[in-house]
Amino acid sequence: MSRHAGPPRAPEAPAVPEPTFAERARTLAYLGRTGMLATVSRRHAGHPFASVMPYALDVDGRPLFLISAMAMHTQNLAADRRASLLVTQPDCSGDPLAAGRLTLMGDGHALDPVEGRDARAAYLARHPRAGYWVDFDDFAFWRLEPVDVYFVGGFAAMDWVTPADYQAASPDPLAEAATGIVEHMNRDHADALIAYARHYAGETADEATMVTVDRLGFTLRLRQGDRLSSVRIAFPREVRTAEQSREVLIAMLRRTLDTPRPSP
């Protein structure tokens, strides 16, 4: 498996730690609220039928749907349980092929009343407006039981994730705060990002943009003249809150300022 990781690193350079694909898949599923559900068409045998699908997750990361018996995707699932849910990285600007996406392949199951009570609480917490129709007679809760998971983290960063690994993983603790951290750094600290790239990755850049951040580090997209690349930079310690990320990023910047730059 290959990964797009910017310029080649020296053979002796240690790998920069990052979340596993299973963790990244769980994080993306957690952040998403709406995906694209593909079911097997009854009307056109063998053809996939795609629908916009709001979803929530149970404690194991399995997607929960609140769907009407009159909907075509529900009728398809009743005839053939096989389905896939595509989830894409929310609030992603720029090239969509550079963004994260996740395909959960599995079997759809209608939930019994006991299972439905837990699903109801999880779903309404994610989609409170569904309270207007959750008790309609033709609506019921379904769950997608994953049989395989495929994660794409951007160009040349992709792999299959087993359902067991996906369910055992947890969303990144910075998942909710990450968008705000990225926006703040790109808006207010562009010079600091260039300094991080130079000091911690040995890369000079005319422009640096933070594209992702997680508990273990962050990824920068760099531009040097016409050359574009990306680089992963590790935090010196694990970060679990927005305030901790602020403290660590400030400490990392101070270190770049305290270190003398080599003479040209």
pLDDT digits (tens, 9 = 90+) for 188-222: 999 999 999 999 999 999 999 998 899 999 999 99
pLDDT digits (tens, 9 = 90+) for 102-111: 999 999 999 9
Query: Where do runs of H (alpha helix) occur along 10-105?
Result: 21-31, 72-79
Q: Report d(CA 82, CA 24) in Å as an integer.
A: 24
pLDDT digits (tens, 9 = 90+) for 152-176: 987 678 999 999 999 999 999 999 9
Q: Give the pLDDT score at 71.
A: 97
Q: What angle do CA 64, 58, 60 make, to 5 degrees?
A: 125
Residue 95 has pLDDT above 70, yes or no: no
Q: Are 222 and 228 in contact (CB under 8 A)?
A: yes
The pTM assigned to this predicted structure is 0.85
Q: Are 191 and 198 in contact (CB under 8 A)?
A: no
Amino acid at 106: G
Q: Are 172 and 27 in contact (CB under 8 A)?
A: yes
φ, ψ for residue 244, nearest 5 deg? -65, -40
Domains of the chain: 21-168 (2.30.110.10), 178-258 (3.20.180.10)
Q: What angle do CA 120, 122, 243 make, to 5 degrees?
A: 160
